[in-house]
Structure 1
Amino acid sequence: MQIMRDHPTLWIKGNTSASLKGKTIVLAVTGSIAAVRTVELARELIRRGADVYAVMSEAASWILNPMALHYATGHEVMTRITGAVEHVEFCGMSGKADLLLIAPATANTIGKIASGIDDTPVTTFATTAIGSNIPVMIVPAMHEAMYNHPAVAENIEMIKCWGVGFIGPDIKEGIAKIASNEDIVLQVERQLGSKELAGRRLLITSGSTAEPIDPIRILTNRASGKTGVELALEAYRRCAEVTIVHRNRIGCAGIKEIYAESASQMTEAVLEELAYGCDILISAAAIADYTLNSADTKIKSGGELTLHLKPVAKLINKARDEYPDLLIAGFKAETGTSLDELLERAMHTLETSKLNMIVANEVGSRGIGTDDNEVYILTPEDTGYIHIIGSKRVIASALLDELSHLLISRK
């Protein structure tokens, strides 16, 4: 009896998340030096649960041996079209592919796709997928001069009009470089993920604020902003229009970022954004409770220094006063409290600030600056709570699940 075993590469399947579970992705590779990046790209897609199959042009095989992508995907690589009509099997009308991802895509391949020329396995897959309305995403990579050629620009715009998505490029050092694997994976997750927040605008505050003491020194806290960033990324995966206000940097082209340092700057930025319309405000930032009058010049060191602190108006209270119907989620962090006391304090904030949801956590041992956390979600409608332990990505996903339910219940 023959025993069938999974390819060792597939042992990593779903190790990072299940965001692409059940999805079949054809990774089409063309003759750019950036082809060397696709080994790890394939594995990142698999780590999120996808089944990945590779197809290569002849030019791509001059740069990257097909055996490398066999190893990376766990499947034989398609380097030519045979009697098995592989392009139809995966990208035909009843094809099993959920997405054709062309990465990297050269100027030559983009031009052929725009003209419907099928003289490589990759272009044959592309024509078939576009004709079958299977989603296609293209990741360009070439020299900047080639990317700037009017014909290349026209070809890209034409292909976009067909509903094909483009990721990148990243213009650096005179090269239109392939987008980072992180960006590619995020855009694939958005394409293939839940559309439950499509058309919704989410505004998120994140991280710590900093109150200036003088031009050099600040008062701040230990919040890292990791939860806020994960919330922004997860909302983007679910097709929301996302704005994040913070002192950090995500660098995702699809997420609007507003830099705000102090509590007053963050409050001003949030109220300004809310004026444009918003479905959900998630106040995940650890906003300063106190501020002070900053010195115009550096305070000389040496000796004792007394700082006169004054309270800061609560952002969530201002937002609720101006937007009584806005769905607002807040956070409550405590240290040295029992579970009962933590939940009692969180419920008090939930009620007094008229929030729709609050996330409570005891941060004495975990949460601040860590990659995981333990939180409790409370809403006014429930007498109990939802308890979650896990990575901040897992927590962000759970929070957005609950917020999506609250949005649906409002209809």
Structure 2
Amino acid sequence: MADLHGKKIILGISGSIAAYKSAFLTRLLVKAGASVRVLMTPAAAQFISPLTLSTLSKNPVYSDVQSEAGWNNHVELGLWADAMIIAPATANTLARLAGGICDNMLSAVYLSARCPVFFAPAMDVDMWHHPATQENLRKLRTYGNEIIPVEHGELASGLVGEGRMAEPETIVAFLTEQFLRRQDLAGKKVLITAGPTYEAIDPVRFIGNRSSGKMGIAIAEEAASRGARVTLVLGPSALRAKHPGIDTIHVESAREMYVRATAQFPECDIAVLSAAVADYRPVKVADQKLKKEDGTPKLELERTPDIAAALGEMKQAGQRIIGFALETNNETANARKKLEKKNFDLIVLNSLRDAGAGFQHDTNKISILSQDNKTRHFELKTKAEVAKDIINTLLPIL
């Protein structure tokens, strides 16, 4: 039996014939020990009575953000909940929330929510497969939301195919599993490096790379959501981690990242080295901006500190290191060589030859190589989903 004892759940209902299932879902959540607050769009109230849901949840049902109750509660609810489930989530609601449109109580609470959000879509088969719907689902995943898979079967239109909302029992089981999974790093301290490094030429110019830090931040968010205490050493990036359990240390150069990472690592259980660290830096840094009239500068370069090698040498029994390899040729051979040389436990391989992978994308396509000479290949996914794959691969060797 599902155990959600003490969990605070928001159930958002949009206008679909599948809304009738929300009564069963509410009952199952309450039976599992959860405290449930129900939100409805105006269209949802045409399919199921708010009185029914209020009675089953033992709490008022909110539907009008412009009412006094709605206005006073939309932010509070977003902070109150341990999870928000939107079931059924229509194509219209998916589009609205993917676009950040805030014109009803459900969308106002969604935009205020700091908790994990789960969508259980419901629509006809052609609507489900339409590129616009699939793009909206992709966007929602990049925001860190979870999509509960639709089911295949007879639809309200009489057609048969994908688009049926998952059954209430399936939704409750999915949610329960997510809560259990989100504690599997409890008590672990995780060090993550992310983003590029900038190596100064003069006060204006630098040597850098195209890394945005998206992948490392996604891993930090995933680890923190699963109970870990996370230290994120982040190079120059416009992005920021949002989870309150992440302590971010901002650095600029490879030297600064080296100092911070080596200082933090002895107290950590896990290190994930996803930063794109510059391999070289200028030997001399000009005090003033170099001028064109001074001629073409000649830069003498030297190696930057090897953070991965340093942590590999420092690694003690029980510590785990995940490295990253971004390759353009002989990908697997180069990654396995790096895995062994740097004393990694796992290495995550990207190839710039894979469309949608690498720097500055919202997606990534990876393979994970391990010390037992095995390689796991993954499809192109959002970086939030890739972060889950990385953590899930790590867990068995902790």
Q: How does 1:42-121 map to 2 (within 5 A)?
A: 54-55=37-38, 67-68=41-42, 70=44, 76-77=49-50, 84=55, 86-87=57-58, 103-105=74-76
Separation of aligned partners in 2, 1:375 and 1:279? 23
The match for 1:350 among 333, 339, 349 is 339
CA contact (8 A) 2:190 2:228 kept: yes
Q: Deviations over 1:15-70 (max 9, x none)?
A: xxxxx9xx993359xxxxxxxxx99xxxxxxxxxx9897547xxxxxxxxx65484
Q: Deviations over 1:106-132 (max 9, x none)?
A: 9xxx9xxxxxxxxxxxxxxxxxxxxxx
TM-score normalised by L of structure 2 = 0.60
Cα distance change, pair 85–25 in 1 and its aligned pair in 2 (3 A): closer
Separation of aligned partners in 2, 1:306 and 1:204? 35
Q: Secondary structure at the match of 2:272?
A: strand
Task: State the match for 1:377 in structure 2.
Answer: 368
Q: Deviations over 1:54-106 (max 9, x none)?
A: 547xxxxxxxxx654847x986435996xx46429x9xxxxxxxxxxx75339
1:333 lines up with 2:317 in the alignment: no
CA deviation after TM superposition for structure 1 residue 183, in Å = 3.0
Q: How does 1:165-244 map to 2 (within 5 A)?
A: 181=112, 183-185=114-116, 193-244=181-232
- 1:347 maps to a residue whose letter is R
Q: Secondary structure at the match of 1:298?
A: coil
TM-score normalised by L of structure 1 = 0.58
Separation of aligned partners in 2, 1:197 and 1:291? 36
Cα distance change, pair 188–195 in 1 and its aligned pair in 2 (3 A): farther
Separation of aligned partners in 2, 1:322 and 1:273? 11
The match for 1:261 among 252, 255, 271 is 252
Cα distance change, pair 319–104 in 1 and its aligned pair in 2 (3 A): same
1:25 lines up with 2:9 in the alignment: yes
CA contact (8 A) 1:55 1:78 kept: no
Q: Secondary structure at the match of 1:243?
A: strand
Separation of aligned partners in 1, 2:206 and 2:278? 11
Cα distance change, pair 27–299 in 1 and its aligned pair in 2 (3 A): same
- 1:309 maps to a residue whose letter is L
1:405 lines up with 2:396 in the alignment: yes
Cα distance change, pair 297–384 in 1 and its aligned pair in 2 (3 A): same
CA contact (8 A) 1:105 1:138 kept: no
Task: State the match for 1:279 in structure 2.
Answer: 269
Q: CA RMSD in A?
A: 3.8
Cα distance change, pair 214–24 in 1 and its aligned pair in 2 (3 A): same
- 1:389 maps to a residue whose letter is L
Separation of aligned partners in 2, 1:67 and 1:378? 47
Separation of aligned partners in 2, 1:182 and 1:208? 30
Q: Secondary structure at the match of 1:231?
A: helix
Separation of aligned partners in 1, 2:263 and 2:253? 15
Cα distance change, pair 346–85 in 1 and its aligned pair in 2 (3 A): closer
1:368 lines up with 2:359 in the alignment: yes
Cα distance change, pair 296–382 in 1 and its aligned pair in 2 (3 A): same
Q: Would you say how many aligned residue pairs link Structure 1 and Structure 2?
A: 274
The match for 1:304 among 296, 306, 320 is 296
CA deviation after TM superposition for structure 1 residue 257, in Å = 0.5
- 1:26 maps to a residue whose letter is I
Q: Deviations over 1:263-302 (max 9, x none)?
A: 0101111112124x11110000000100122112211134
Structure 2 spans left out of the alignment, 5+ residues: 15-24, 30-35, 62-72, 85-107, 118-143, 147-177
CA deviation after TM superposition for structure 1 residue 312, in Å = 1.3
CA deviation after TM superposition for structure 1 residue 402, in Å = 0.8
CA contact (8 A) 1:388 1:395 kept: no
Q: Secondary structure at the match of 2:288?
A: coil
Q: Deviations over 1:219-265 (max 9, x none)?
A: 10011111111101111121111111113322432211000110010
Cα distance change, pair 179–322 in 1 and its aligned pair in 2 (3 A): farther
Q: Work out the percentage of aligned pairs sharing the same amino acid.
A: 28
Task: State the match for 1:314 in structure 2.
Answer: 306
